[in-house]
Structure 1
Amino acid sequence: MDLDRIYANGDVIPGGADYPARWAAEAAAFRAQMGARARLDLPYGAGERQRFDLFLPEGTPKGLMVFVHGGWWLAFDKSTWSHLAAGAVARGWAVAMPSYTLAPEARISAITREIAAAVVAAAAEVAGPIVVTGHSAGGHLSARMACADVALTAEVAARITRVVPISPLAELELLMPLAANQKLQIDAEEARRESPTRHLPRAGIALHVTVGADERAAFIFHARHLSEEWSCDWSLVPDTHHFNVLDGLCRADDPLTRLVLGE
């Protein structure tokens, strides 16, 4: 069996190669539309990529949504995904989108610590409840923010009320045989430490795992496996694959936006 192929998305999604350019254009247009309500490149650490963008609604925010981007921990940054804040912002939420140091410069355990620092920094900018979500590798990182072992300040941990990983990579041992692991450097210890499936979530967090109904079976397996280990609900987003499963976040009344925010 070609294990790399069971995770490959671009080769099986029609027009898959066109998506990154489309995302970048839509993200840039959204930032321009937001004007002064887009606060860009706020630092959460000293590293070059340790920055987040914060998008503010009109009026006092209901709370903060943090979206963590994917790309196999190897690609992309916050600037590609800005448009995905549109739905939550329209519903009155602030949205923070962090970049993070990519592999192989950083291992996944270090990236987890960076996202925790980004959540703490963003929380200092916006009062109220915090919802954390993310996609693919970002789904993994958002799931890690629910885990009791992750070092968040007590005040910020108490404010995280909801975590909704989207198409998460949740059991890292399954990724060890892949070609990408030459850069990711996942070993047995890192798989044990960094797989959300191996950790209990903090008490009091509402949890829901979701994945596109038309995604590769491997991603559906990771989503269902995480939901089973966490004893939480999971759902399939109808008629979506790994690249368009996020589109609903652009719309205020889309079921995905409402699911993530718990509204």
Structure 2
Amino acid sequence: MKKILVTGASGQLGSELFVLSTSYPEFEWIFADRTKVTLDDLELLKNQLNKIKPDIIFNCGAYTAVDKAETEKELAFTINHLSVELIAKYTFENNIKLIHISTDYVFDGSSSSALNEEAKTKPINVYGESKLAGELSCLKENPNSIIIRTSWVYSKFGNNFVKTMQRLMQERDEINVVNDQIGSPTYAADLAKAMIDVLRSSNWVPGIYNYSNEGEISWYEFALSIKEFGGYNCKIGGIKSSSYPTPAKRPNFSLLDKKKIKETYKLQIPDYKKSLKNMFI
């Protein structure tokens, strides 16, 4: 029985993989939070991997505090770059399959059309820089690995935009949401299923892939959909990003082109509204 190690087990994606794992008893699943797999202590991480001896690694663990990363650069790079480098090297040396999760924040947001895997990367914040460094190390140390870039991840688990909006719409009569950042949300449950489908496919094609739900929307439009499915009465206004400054800049446009993963792995990717509705059920 093949052993799958899932890092970042307590995060959104790790939690959704845990839910799905019971449907795939052909694998032995090991869900490791930061107490079992320590991404910020590289020596300890190496020992932990040697002890677990996985056949497959789903590397979902990451430093994701985008604004905090601006002042915690060393920690962000240790987790998002150096630990990925170590994991990639370990998986290559031991002939282990690796699926590593990355982000749309590797782009600067200046595009006006959907970004494919060959699009020029140019991060505009520390988090994006650290994730791009992780991608480059991953491909260098393990050319057989698969990297999946995703965007605007949400789930019923963890902290995310959907849960924040649900709370605010119940607490307030009126809220404002930025309307000039364009992309597409990703329901973590859909991404988790896609990862398993890629793994179980007879067609392992290394490289970078994009994955998000279908649709091209702003955060404001996403909030309107959350209001619709939640049945909230809160009034929602659209504002410019400049009216809501954050320590870390966000890309204004990061819509991902999913053609490559759909064609390579014959994946059916749901529309964002369909997936959002599923989360509310």
**After TM superposition, is the score higher than 0.5?**
no
TM range (shorter): 0.3 to 0.5
TM-score (norm 1): 0.37
TM-score (norm 2): 0.35
